[in-house]
Structure 1
Amino acid sequence: MSTASSIPEAIPEAIAVREAAERAAAAAPGVRAAGGPAIDAALRTAAELLREHAEALLAANAADVATAEQGGMAAGLLDRLRLTPERLAEMAHQLEVLAATPEPPLQHAVRTLDSGERVFERRVPVGVIGAVFEARPNVTVDVASQVLKARSAAVLRTGAAALGSARALVELVIAPALARHGIPEGAVQLVPTPGHAGADALVGLPDLVPLVVVRGSGDVTRRLSALGAAAGTRVLAHADGGGVLYLDASADEATVERLVTEGTDRLGVCNRLNLLLVDAPAYDRLWPVAEKALRAGGITPSLAPHAHPLGHEWALDSGAEAHVTVATVAGPVDAALTAARETSGLAATVCAADEDAATAFIDAYTGTGVFWNATTRLLDGYKLLGLPETGINVDHTPGPRGPVTYLDLTLRQFVVLPPA
């Protein structure tokens, strides 16, 4: 194993990350040995502790929010950073749902060879899984719970603005819940220092942290993915987002208004309405309805000619989150191709009364999630699958795609046994 002196320039953040990774690696066998009932019991206890320590957790978060406000953080980012009693209650509820979720068998039969040997496939833990994510305190619990449910230990690195909140969640909720059920407290480690050097270091420790989940802006995730690839670390990147809504000529006004309103209820999230496409022949009828709904929510439409790419993600545009790009298209297939070409391919909705138009859009769109008369805000692990997620993967290659849950965070292993 490398020593701190081998870390480039002995960067303090890198040293702290390696030390956290070493503690997680030491705890990982205990997580695997604990088994499902103990992990689920710890998750239920964590839900209880979230409620028990709500006052202290909200106070820690309020300090983070106050500091961020003083630093000029934009409204959309502040919304992601802020915890409320309702959000804490939802976090606790999701932990209980995860704990109650029956797991598929760890091993299942595949086939019997002609020579009689029996082939099985089983799921085995990764060991230690890292995570780099934005300043959203709830993600601390989401990721930690998913990694634990997958029988691995975690090393978490959150955005600097949420560090106080994340520390309170680990120290008051996660670690005590683990200890109460005989699971090593060190199984969930929080990188204690802010700064990008910590994220860079986390993707550079394949000997300790072979898999790192990375969330954030496209530029950040691409850079960390490249660093991880160079080091030999598998990086599961959850990057660019931005939902698309296509208004077909067959759409009715009430559904248009509903989908625009539902798609812009929160502006700092990846699955919000970002690009609004309107069927050109119906523009004069549908655009006034959509515009009224946008402006009622305080949203400014960005109309042609655009000074930015069509897929520009407003959720990541600090201070300009309250925008939606608007463009015209020539029917459902053109809309689907435009959505796939101009955005990350996270999610797209077709608003249509005509089933043929909706089917044409669905068949032509190649993104992660496609919806008919339902908002892209539904592209979320808990909403779609009933499980919290580590993020949403928009890769166009085989592997976990869409909302990633604990089921995607294990390794496949083949077991061959003698004839029965």
Structure 2
Amino acid sequence: MDIAKKAKEASYKIALSSTTVKNDALTYMAQALEDMKDDIISANQEDVSNARKNGLKEALIERLTLTEQRISGMIEGFLTLVDLPDPVGGGTIIKRPNGLTLLKERVPLGVIGIIYESRPNVTSDAAGLCIKSGNAVILRGGSEAINSNKAIVKALCSGLKRSGLPESCIQLIEDTDRERIQELFKMRDYVDVIIPRGGGALIKNVVENSKIPVIETGEGNCHIYVDEFADLPMAEKILINAKTSRPSVCNAAEKLLVHEKIAKDFLPDALLKLQKLGVEIRGCERTRKIYPNAIPIKDEDWPMEYLDFIIGVKVVDSIDEAIEHINRFGTRHSEAIVTKDYERANKFLAGVDAACVYVNASTRFTDGGEFGMGAEIGISTQKLHARGPMGLEELTTTKYLILGNGQIRE
């Protein structure tokens, strides 16, 4: 695959580029997005029209759609990256008794392959993060967003060209045939890491078939647990935000767990408000006795990521049952407790196994921009190298530079 070879060559050049050159590239790329905004929106409208003809769910069409506001957000993301510290080059100095000096330095990963679905703004975010961290990137978006992605990459490459960096630092696999992904999986000599960003089927395909190291990012079967000592108006506000503000993204709440002592006080009003906002309620037997409008939930629902106006509800006997349920069915993404009790909050924080665990806040904050990273390459739900929102530092690794004056090992 010529794209991979070109990316490898480009990665050596950008790895040696100064912070000034990379920041100039980001600034030019932001300007190119502004200049070509109308072309990008026109291409996106074509994708949205095709998606509707093909029967794509409205929640997924919402993820696909680009507006002027979203493009402005993409532009702002580049400018935010300019202001962030360069992650490359920082490190620590270690002095050894034999006179050797070790420099543990941060360096780019090299060539990053990113495979993702639906959301064309990922094209922009991923490219910006890779350029700032000194990496070349190969992008493979979903077929439903191909026209949008082509237009965005065209704009970004025009900005790269102005900066003097190789345009092959950012490349898009335009062939939407799935065989191209299988080819990419075998390019171990040229690609250093693959990052899948999408649903469970996509992630599973990458993990099981790639010969290149993979950083798993997240399916989000996220839970809100309303404790017996919760502030109920606060809990309702958090729940509605976490479920309905943007249900098609991985940090949206998919399940609601409620302590049995406050279930009768909390569920009727909270679930009615969700239902009026268009959310389908799927509940356990105890939930349905309190809120008869809920439909019976099935066993296969508990581990499911809906990405839609659907929520599963369960009444639990204790915080321990809530933690056990989350650790059994959650995807290690984002989990939240609503409680006024300090000890119970700490128990939840310590007991829940997830990248991000919240007390009295919406799971929707799990986002690189919200965490001050400018943007994110994805939400890592694994435990090696990176976990949670992946920003600039997570796109680097370390290299030891050893300085001596003739030392030999006895």
1:170 equivalent to 2:153? Answer: yes
Contact 2:257 2:314 in 1 (8 A): yes
Instruction: Work out whether 1:118 is the aligned partner of 2:101.
Output: yes
Corresponding residue for residue 4 of structure 1: none
Task: Confirm or deny that 1:322 pairs with 2:309.
Answer: yes
| Aligned with residue 240 of structure 1, among 195, 201, 219 | 219
1:291 and 2:271 correspond = yes
Q: Which amino acid aligns with 1:199?
A: I
Note if contact 1:256-1:289 (Cα within 8 Å) is conserved in structure 2: no
Task: Name 1:43's counterpart in structure 2.
Answer: 26
TM-fit CA distance, 1:112: 1.0
* 2:52 paired residue number: 69
User: Which secondary structure state, in structure 1, belongs to the residue aligned with residue 370 of structure 2?
Assistant: helix
1:352 CA displacement: 1.1
Deviation at 1:189, TM superposition (A): 0.7
Greater CA drift, 346-355 or 410-419: 410-419
**Match of residue 306 from structure 1:** 297
Please tell me whether residue 346 in structure 1 is matched to residue 333 in structure 2. yes
Letter matched to residue 220 of structure 2: G
CA positional deviation for 1:407: 1.1
> For residues 242-261 of structure 1, what are the structure 2 equivalents within 5 Å?
242-261=221-240
* Equivalent-residue separation in structure 2 for 1:211 and 1:309 (angstroms): 32
Shift of 1:235: 1.1
- After TM superposition, give the deviation of residue 386 of structure 1 in Å: 3.1
**CA-CA distance at 1:250 after TM superposition:** 1.3
The 3-state SS of whatever aligns with 1:34 is: coil
**What is the identity, as a one-letter code, of the residue corresponding to 1:248?**
D
Partner residue, 1:211: 193
How many angstroms does 1:210 deviate by?
Answer: 2.1
2:353 to 326, 350, 366: 366
Aligned-residue offset at 1:21 = 1.2
- Following the alignment from structure 2 to structure 1, what is the Cα–Cα distance between the partners of residues 208 and 103? 35
Q: Aligned to 1:254, what secondary structure does the other structure show? A: helix
Aligned to 2:292: none
TM-score by length of 1: 0.90
Give me the whole-angstrom Cα distance separating, in 1, the residues matched to 2:68 and 2:328: 40
How far off is 1:218 after superposition?
1.8
Instruction: Point out where structure 1 has 5 or more consecutive residues left out of the alignment.
Output: 1-17, 316-320
2:396 matched to 1:410? yes
Shift of 1:362: 1.3
Q: Give how far 1:102 is off.
A: 1.5
1:4-403 equivalence runs, <5 A: 18-104=1-87, 106-171=89-154, 173-228=155-210, 231=211, 233-263=212-242, 264-304=244-284, 305-307=296-298, 308-315=300-307, 321-395=308-382, 397-403=383-389
Q: Which amino acid aligns with 1:175?
A: C
- Is the 2:355–2:381 contact (alpha carbons within 8 Å) kept by the matching residues of 1? yes
**CA-CA distance at 1:382 after TM superposition:** 1.1
Q: CA deviation at 1:279?
A: 0.4
Shift in Å at residue 371 of structure 1?
Answer: 0.6
Q: How many residues align?
A: 393
Give the partner amino acid of 1:252.
D
Show CA shifts across 1:267-287 (max 9, x none). 110010101000011110111
Deviation (angstroms), 1:46: 1.4
Which is worse superposed, 139-148 or 96-105?
Answer: 96-105
Kept after mapping to 2: 8 A contact 1:142/1:388: yes
Q: In 2, Cα distance between the equivalents of 1:189 and 1:104?
A: 22
Of the structure 1 ranges 21-30 and 37-46, higher mean CA displacement relative to structure 2 is found in 21-30
| Preserved CA contact (<8 Å) 1:299 1:322 | yes
CA 1:419–1:55: 2 relative to 1, 3 Å: same
Are the counterparts in 2 of residues 380 and 389 from structure 1 also a CA contact under 8 Å?
A: yes
Q: Secondary structure at the match of 2:261?
A: helix
1:315-334 per-position Cα deviation (integer Å, ceiling 9, x unaligned): 1xxxxx21000001122232
Mapped contact 2:86–2:133 kept (Cα < 8 A): no
Is the 2:88–2:133 contact (alpha carbons within 8 Å) kept by the matching residues of 1? no
Q: Give the whole-Å Cα distance in 2 for the aligned partners of 1:286 and 1:241.
A: 24
Q: How far has the Cα of 1:419 moved from its partner?
A: 6.5
Q: Aligned-pair RMSD on alpha carbons?
A: 1.6
Mean CA deviation greater in 404-413 or 276-285: 404-413
Distance 1:181 1:415 in 2: 29
Once structures 1 and 2 are overlaid, which stretch shifts more, 126-135 or 64-73? 126-135
Q: Which runs of 4+ in 1 moved over 6 A?
A: none
**TM-score normalised per structure 2:** 0.92
Alpha-carbon offset, residue 97 of structure 1: 0.3
Residue in 1 that maps onto 2:291: none
Cα distance in 2, alignment partners of residues 346 and 107 from structure 1: 29
Deviation of 1:244 (Å)? 0.7
